[in-house]
Chains A and B, each alone.
Chain A
Amino acid sequence: MRGGTVRFVLRRLAQLVPVVLAIAALNFALAKLAPGDAADILAGQMGHATLEFTEQLRREFGLDLPILEQFLAYMGRTARLDLGISLIQQQPVAELIADRLPATLLLMVTALVLAIATGVALGVAAARRQGTWVDNLISVSALLVYATPAFWLGLMLIVFFSIRLDLLPSGGMMRIGVAQTALGQVLDVARHLILPAATLGLFYAAVYARLMRASMLEVYGLDFITTARAKGLSEGTIAWTHALRNALLPVVTLAGMQVGHLLGGSVLIETVFGWPGLGRLVFDALVQRDLNLLLGILFVSSIVVVLVNLAVDLVYGFLDPRITHK
């Protein structure tokens, strides 16, 4: 990597500090806003706690201290990645989340790759045949997908592919004991991944297709495309090498901006398909009213978004060398 890039990354990392602090502060505020504190919840679980006992718990947890001291203590813990203990599951929140994060990331990345590939291909196809039935079909489908709740689409796909056709598994991530070899395991996970990733990705594919179409049409209006045509290059070469690279920038920007949205969608999709990721954890935490866990998930998912945005900025530099990392 060039020195400029390293400096750029370091500077961006430094910029993340206030954002992370703000996320932690928001989490603290939300925890304080919730009716009832940890002592109430624990005491309630025991079923026979006296008022004195609740007070004693409160002292143990430091919940009787002034709010500022509590806040500083909370920030200190968060800085050490100690997100507290899930009061229901009796495990550190950070561990629970770390267990589930890889599955969510796998689902998100697969969905995003599918979405960008499909969206870009369709967008380019629509732009090259502007005004024809191909263009109309793609635009109308995109509008339709745009209006479909992904979790419902997932259920319908389960009905069709799992129940009717019995082709794909309806939920879970792998079947225990089926695959002996490593390759078999990968294939098994992939089979389970198809439906949720397609469900999650489809919405974004529609978004990117529309954006890509508009962006391609804009690039087509520029002088260098006319030059390329004058040079006698084929339309295919122009579309896929000259125009694509330039038209891709807005898609990358949007994809980066939508990571948070994607994570939210993933919560619903994972619930539908029983995918053992963060989203499932959100659902479990909701059912069990496990606030600590819920806040931990909000914190970690925000951090994930911030980091992905950083990655997008770097990708930007590769796509468009004019953007130098200063």
Chain B
Amino acid sequence: MVALAIAGPLLYPVDPFDMVGQPSVPPGGEQVLGTDVAGRDMLAGLIHGGRVSLLIGFMASLAATLVGLVLGAVAGYYGGRIDDLIMRTTEFFLTIPSFVLAVVLVAIFSPTILHITVAIAVVSWPSVARLARAEFLAHRDREYVQGCRAIGMPDREIILLQILPNALPPVIVVSSLMVATAILTESGLSFLGLGDPNQVSWGYMIGVARSVLRTAWWMAAIPGAMIVVTVLAINLVGEGLNDALNPRLKQR
């Protein structure tokens, strides 16, 4: 675990950010990784696809974290009926098969990067909300919060300035792991043909390569390997963050 925690941050900047940093590389004369069924350069596709996958992954996770955090904070801090209402909704969204819901959402609204991001966020926020609620619930009766209340600090300030910094670490861990899930979901969606038609993505490349699996297996293998490496790196960072931010787990 410790080795992974150390390796995570080392792997991370090398891996995904190399791809984000570079703009779409024009197909070189050699075409290092060959071309796909339509004669498009694979490397260019990989780089472009990586940008789309990462963008959607990060944005969806960010959006889901914000929504989950706000709802979780309100539910945990105030409790009572509003808590009931929010938690019922959360459980409801946890019950619905999330991938199927994402498929339906993207199918109803045209598949653009924005819509895909929103759809993934819609199915991802409940886990953050649950966690945030638990954190706020644990903190709301602590002495420092009671102190703040005693000096007449408004709820908004207590939530944002006092409890939030304490509740944030576990949420950050979960949302960094959520980036990985979001990338996997996005690749699944675009594999089914629900990707943005104007953008290449890794899942789309695998979907296209599926028809020539018998003759050119590497065409599907390479983008898939990219997903594995990226998601693995993000998971390692998440684990690293968990070890860094959660001292209670250290001794394990």
Contacts and interface: CB of A to CB of B under 8 A. Distances in A.
B95 A309 contact: yes
Contact of B188 (A268, A287, A289, A301): A268
Contacts, number: 137
Contacts of B191: 149, 151, 268, 271
Interface residues of B, number: 43
A257 B107 contact: no
B104 A294 contact: yes
Interface stretch (A69-77, A190-198, A258-266): A258-266
A87 to B, nearest CB: 14
A305 B97 CA distance: 7
B204 to A, nearest CB: 12
B24 interface: no
Interface in B196-214: 203, 206, 210, 213-214
A158 interface: yes
B187 interface: yes
A286 B95 contact: no
B235 A143 contact: yes
A155 B220 contact: yes
Contacts of B236: 143
Size bracket, chain A contacts: 35 or more
A205 interface: no
B95 A302 contact: yes
B206 A152 contact: yes
Given A261-B99, A283-B192, A146 B235 contact: yes
Contact of B224 (A149, A158, A298): A149
A267 B229 CA distance: 24
Contact of A286 (B96, B193, B252): B193
A163 interface: yes
A273 to B, nearest CB: 11
A144 interface: yes
B99 A264 contact: yes
B99 A267 contact: yes
B252 A19 contact: no
A151 B188 contact: yes
B100 A155 contact: no
Interface in B83-112: 92, 94-105, 107-109
Interface of B is mostly: helix
Interface string A137-155: 0010001101111011101
A291 B101 contact: no
Given A23-B96, A298-B100, A286 B180 contact: no
Interface in B107-124: 107-109
Contacts of B97: 260-261, 263-264, 298, 301-302, 305
Given A159-B217, A163-B217, A265-B99, A260 B94 contact: yes
Interface of A: 19, 22-23, 26, 30, 33-35, 139, 143-144, 146-149, 151-153, 155-156, 158-159, 163, 214, 217, 257, 260-261, 263-265, 267-268, 271-272, 282-283, 286-287, 289, 291, 294-295, 297-298, 301-302, 305-306, 309
Given A257-B94, A286-B194, 9 more contacts: A30-B104, A147-B231, A149-B228, A151-B188, A152-B220, A155-B210, A260-B98, A268-B191, A301-B100
Interface of B: 1, 4, 92, 94-105, 107-109, 180, 184, 187-188, 191-194, 203, 206, 210, 213-214, 217, 220-221, 224, 227-229, 231-232, 235-236, 252
25 contacts: A23-B92, A33-B108, A33-B109, A143-B236, A144-B228, A146-B231, A148-B224, A152-B228, A155-B220, A156-B221, A159-B213, A260-B95, A260-B97, A260-B98, A261-B98, A261-B99, A264-B102, A267-B192, A268-B99, A294-B107, A298-B97, A298-B100, A301-B97, A302-B95, A306-B95
